[in-house]
Structure 1
Amino acid sequence: MSIFAVGINHKTAPVSVREKVAFTPDNLTHALQQMVDQLNCQEAAILSTCNRTELYFVQDRTVDQVQQQIVDWLQRYHQVPAHLIASSLYWHHDRKAVNHMMRVACGLDSLVLGEPQILGQMKQAYSQAKAAGSMQMIMERLFQRTFGVAKEVRTETDIGTSAVSVAFAAVNLAKHIFGQLQKSKVLLIGAGETIELVARHLHDNQVSKITVANRTVARAEAMAKEVGADVITLAQIPEQISDADIVISSTGSTLPIIGKGMIEKALAKRRHRPIFMVDIAVPRDIEEQVGELEDVFLYTVDDLQGIIAKNMENRRKAAEDAEHIVSDGADQFMSWLRGLNTQNAVVAYRQQCLSKRDELLQKASAQLANNKNPDAVMAELATKLTNHLMHAPTRAIQQAAQGGELDKLIYLQDVFDLDTKDN
């Protein structure tokens, strides 16, 4: 019985390949059932995100046997040439598979070191496998231990506390200046991916109000609806900006959208209550001279990159501590698994002995019922039971001695508490 983790991710393949082997929520249950039925997996789970697709499973086969089997199945399932798959896959077996799963859940294998979203995706993979009926005792224990390790990493290290994206850094800066953001009103300029991420972070921080300004209103409406924001045009910014405590801008404009004069008027209306402004755009959306105003805190993308670089270094240091936690977690799981294997072996050995005992007792009872001499029956029972119990250990000791396996011979002598010294 072995545990495998097989996958493809942003390190091993471009998105053009990754998207070909991705599983959607609609086909995941079918895929898990195929893994169990066609690949003879005892247990299985699938993690599929934009950056990775990984198969976790338990199977009684060697690594060499599994590799070709998995490549062939992925080729058939996704209708993708085998060479594209084989050259992009990575393979982890037993402890390395356990360690890899835990590293993934902790964000240590992510494109952005320490990102928290992957843990939620791992929990979703667990739930889907449970619903599909492909999760049993070993994978159940492995996932639960993985979640425990991820929680410990988040609690005991600073790997998730430092902002390492422009969007996250911008919102964190706002929190440093205003403290809690619940009473803050925000104006977002633009409707691209970065502004969308900023909007989500702000929404998570429960800001009082979000307004999105964009050249095309229709393009901004879908994003705005998701976070409960209002939408205005760029032309409406001058009349709306005085209401904003926080302004974050990221457009593709070649000329500044916000000038010094516009902000001076806004500050007058605000009675010089400060405005926090972040210009993520290149070229700039906000004139450089705006930063000269006393009641304006203006940060550019370069300022944020400096913060991000420092925070990435902090995360790398935290990742070293996280790796130790993951390694300990993997060791603990493997210790449990070895204990499980030992328990199974003990149960099997006891059942074998008890079965032989019952067989011999039944035979002895039949002999006594036929009036055979009781002493002879007892002697035969004792001899046959003793011979049965002695057979396997005796053969193992003889084979170790004949093969010159001294370590094994010493081990067997210790197991059976044998005194080999001359009396």
Structure 2
Amino acid sequence: MDDQESRRALKAMFEAAVAAASPASCVAPHLPERPRGRTVVIGAGKAAAAMALAVEAHWDGPLEGMVITRYGHGAPCRRIRIVEAGHPVSDAAGLEAAADIVRMVGGLSPDDLVLCLLSGGGSALLSLPAPGLSLADKQAVGRALLRSGAPIGEMNCVRKHLSAVKGGRLALLAAPARVVTLAISDVPGDDPSVIASGPTVADPTTRHDALAILKKRAIGVPPRVRLWLEDPRSETPKAVPGAELRLVARPREALEAAAKAASGLGLRPVVLGDGLEGEARLLGAAHARLALETAEDLRPGQAPVVLISGGETTVTVQGRGRGGRNAEYLLAHALELAGRTGIHALAADTDGIDGSQDNAGAILSPDSLSRALALGVRPAERLADNDAYSVFAALGDLLVTGPTRTNVNDFRATLINAPSAENHP
């Protein structure tokens, strides 16, 4: 496959992964039966508005409620109110909307249904601080966790113990109504207690875990935050009776869809896993070495191999660049490949937003490094400054999709073409 064919193939695989997690197709089969009483729809996440739209399209009966999504991720719902708020750092809009949701689920009866729609991003969007804490407290801790390179499980552990609604608390507030949660997983292992910080499920983590994470990451917090975490009242519920959670889309299913698309294009897909974590640049380099080993085994005429993986890497911010974990993964990938012919790659977030940037990710070609150097861009220096975004922006190789209104975590694919006969010994 030439450069353009390889690029088209990588984009087709990414699009197949995103389509597999589209709320328009994955929500309806998991809807619960209609209750005798009211149906109140709540939720939060980058896919929450699209999930609400799917509920409206398939629900036979009265509906009311509200969901919170990221700015720019709304959908034209008619019965369910859509509120857009800040992500990845919470803002006042999210706080006000979370307080409204608490009021909506109060005073319900056992005949009523609370249908909770959750997806990645919900933890920052559904932000209601614990008693005695402020939004500014949560924002400061959230920013520090983001910069520390903490994985999503650690971030959400801390968030749950600083919240009035996360870690199962929202389900308790909705009692005695029946609570059914539909969730799109964006976390390694599909742990329901981690998705959007599990507002409707029991939390296995403790306040002591949260304190240990802050210590390990050397994160200083306001005195009232530490005092709250040392208070037994900050402990999250370890049981949430009567609540049910249904996973409607998983990262694994998205990778399977991408692999199927690859096979349809005549490629040989190898799925490395859907829960890969760690520093973006380290994983990028490791996957490049695996690609080089795979290339050594290919012979002329053999079908290209594509290495596919998912999960969520992290970036420990040390520089001042624009970053993006998928761009950082890909730039480290490029430096390790060192311009090896026949190898192309794509890394992108399935929600269409790489970290807090305006791109989903980027695409890499064998000539990316040489083109960057010709433009006066020094990729190794940019990587050291956490500024991979600017490298791919200069090359015109950012992958810009806009909000996809779903989120099953990162998608990575490295396509390895067989050598031509004239270039093979």
Normalised by the length of structure 1, the TM-score is: 0.29
Of the two structures, which has the highest relative contact order with CA contacts closer than 8 Å and spacing of 6 or more? 2
Bigger helix share: 1
Larger Rg: 1
Normalised by the length of structure 2, the TM-score is: 0.28
